[in-house]
Amino acid sequence: MIPKEILSTNSNDAGKIDGGESVGKEKMKLLDLMIREQQRDNQDLLAHETVASGTTFAIFLLASNPEEQAKVQFELDSVFGEDRSRDIQPSDLPKPKYLECCFKETLRLYPPAPVMFRSIEKDLQLDEKVTIPSGIQVVISPWVTHRIPEIFPEPEKFDPTRFMPENCIERHPYAFIPFSAGPRNCMGQKIAIVKAKIILAHIFRNFTVELDSPAETMVPIGDMILYPKGGLKIKLKQR
C-alpha cells in the first residue's frame, strides 16, 4: 500500500525522485498512473471492509426491527416499482433516502472501526487545566462517541430518523465519525456508502429478512473491524 504521504505529494515535488533528480514527462505520466491505480486499490480495500461489516449489521438491525424493514421496502418499491429484476442505475442511488438513514444509523451503533488512533504532533490545550503533550497517542472510539446520550437520546435504540436532514442540522460534525473525520478521514467512505446502498437495495427489494436466532445472541467482536461473532444467521423470504 502506498503511504498517504506519497499520495498527497506536494505539486512542487512533481517531476522529481529521491535526491531531487528530474524525471522525464513520460516517466512521470507512468508514475502518476501507478499512484492513481494504487490509490483506487486502497480505496476499494477500505470500502470493502466497511461495506462487509456495515451491511451485515444493517441486515441484522432491519431483521430485528420489522417495522423499519417495511419502511425500507415501501421506499424501494416506490423507487423501482414491481420489477424486482430491474438493475439499479446511478440515477436511482440518491432516491432511497430512508435506506441511507438506516445505514448511517447502523454505522452509529456498529461502527466498522470501533477504535482509532491519532498521534498528537504539538501540545493540545483542552481547557485551563488539561493539556495533552505532543508525542502522546490518543485513542478515539466511535463506539463510545456514538452512544453519548446528550447527542443521541436513547443511544441503544435503532432510530434511522436521527439522520433525517432536519435532525442533523445542529449536530456537531464530529459527533458521528464512522469514517473518522477531518483531512485524514477514510478515503473509501463514498464508495462504501454507494456499495452498501446497492447491496441492501437488492436484498430488501427481493426478500423479507428474519433472524434465525434471537437478537440478544448476536455478539459484536473485533479490534480493527467489527463483525458478529460466529457470523449472522438469517432467513430470506421471497417477496
Any idea where the domains of the chain sit in the sequence? 4-111+154-238
pLDDT confidence bin for 21, thresholds 50/70/90 = very low
> Which of 56-70, 179-193, 218-232 has the weakest average pLDDT?
179-193
Backbone region of residue 110 per phi and psi (left: phi > 0; alpha: psi in -120 to 50; beta: other values): beta
Residues 78, 64: Cα–Cα separation, whole Å: 23
- The three three-digit cell numbers of residue 5, written as one number: 504521504
Model confidence at 162: pLDDT above 50: yes
Fold classification of 4-111+154-238 is Cytochrome p450 (1.10.630)
pLDDT confidence bin for 126, thresholds 50/70/90 = confident
Residues 62, 101: Cα–Cα separation, whole Å: 12
Dump pLDDT digits (tens) for 128-138: 888 999 999 98
Residues 2, 201: Cα–Cα separation, whole Å: 33
Listed residue (44, 176, 207) closest to 101, CA to CA: 176
Model confidence at 151: pLDDT above 50: yes
Between β-strands 207-211 and 234-238, what pairing exists: parallel, antiparallel or unpaired?
antiparallel
Average pLDDT along the chain: 82
DSSP assignment of 172-200, as one string? -TTS--BTB-GGGS-TTHHHHHHHHHHHH
pLDDT confidence bin for 184, thresholds 50/70/90 = low
133 DSSP 8-state letter: P
Dump pLDDT digits (tens) for 195-234: 999 999 999 999 999 999 888 899 999 867 899 999 999 9
Return the higher-pLDDT residue of 72 and 33. 72
- What is the CB-side half-sphere exposure of residue 37 using CA atoms within 13 A? 6
Residues 106, 59: Cα–Cα separation, whole Å: 9
pLDDT confidence bin for 10, thresholds 50/70/90 = very low
